Amino acid sequence: MVLFLFLAHLAIGIAFTLVFVSREAGVKFFRFNYGTAALLMVAAFAFRPPEASADLAGKVAFGALVVFEAAIVLYWLTVGRVLASIRPVIVGTGIAAGAVALLGQSIAAASGVPAQLMTFLSFSSSAFLLGGACTAMILGHWYLVIPSLEVSHLQSIVKFHMVSMVVRVVVVFAAIALGIVSWEPGLGPNFSRYIFSISGIFFWQRMLFGLAGPAVLSYLTWETAKIRSTQSATGILYVDFFTVVVGEVLAKYLLLATRVAV
């Protein structure tokens, strides 16, 4: 389940983030990224456990993921080959299906409207953070493919990544506060005790590698991009993406272990 959620959210995040990338990046850039998202979703389906579709919300989420996969594969097949006027419809369909999938997964993973809403915010911010980090890393590398590409495009996607980082931090701390104040005896493990127990090491690793690390690295990337050093910025983004991946995998594990969407 951890790998299924992580891979699905990474694929959805990439598709979401590509909307904010300029067309000047070129057809091959979008084809590469949409192809990557499609392959990640195939991998997610391979790891999908039976319990992921045990209820109605899970079935709706799975159906939406199928529509999402069909949309991004269709985009990959048509980008640069057919009329550009139909591509926004394809992208819009994929984004809508991805949002429905995140909502369905949130409803299936939590009980009660407040927890479900918080889980949806967590899943959405996770997808944007993963997608922003991955897309920024690949765009930085793309300056080796198109050396004449304006550095402002990298600066823009790094800004997006920094904003998604801030949003993710806010959502995580809100989820922690909700998990602590809403706990009642008999409703699962006490989250405030969990984070200070031996098992809580996973929580602190999630906070260190998944939030503190990317926050510092995204700022360093921004400072590097401002001086137009695209190669240095890309090198930092590789490390940044790795820390984001570690943090979000741990976040999925903690959700399943504690029912708190950190």
Model confidence over 21-64: pLDDT tens digits? 988 888 899 999 999 999 999 999 999 998 887 788 989 999 99
Average model confidence (pLDDT) for the chain? 90
Q: How many helices (H) and strands (E) does the chain have?
A: 10, 0
* pLDDT at position 83 over 70: no
Helix residue ranges per DSSP H, 146-229: 151-181, 191-194, 201-207, 213-226
At 171-204, the pLDDT tens digits run 999 999 988 887 665 555 677 788 888 888 999 9
At 84-102, the pLDDT tens digits run 678 788 899 999 999 999 9
Domain containing residue 121: 2-258
CA distances from 37 to 117, 253, 260 (A): 26, 22, 27
CA distances from 152 to 31, 160, 199, 226, 238 (A): 21, 12, 44, 9, 19
Q: What number is the average pLDDT over the span 152-161?
A: 93
* pLDDT at position 156 over 80: yes
Q: What number is the average pLDDT over the span 122-132?
A: 96
Cα pseudo-dihedral 207, 208, 210, 211, rounded to 10: 70
Task: Give the predicted TM-score (pTM) of the model.
Answer: 0.93
Radius of gyration of the chain (CA): 19
pLDDT, residue 183, reads 67
Number of folded domains in the chain? 1
CA distances from 210 to 4, 22, 40 (A): 18, 28, 20
Classify residue 181 as exposed, middle or buried by CB count within 10 Å of its CB (0-12, 13-18, 19+): exposed
pLDDT, residue 196, reads 84
Cα angle value 175/179/181 (rounded, 5°): 115
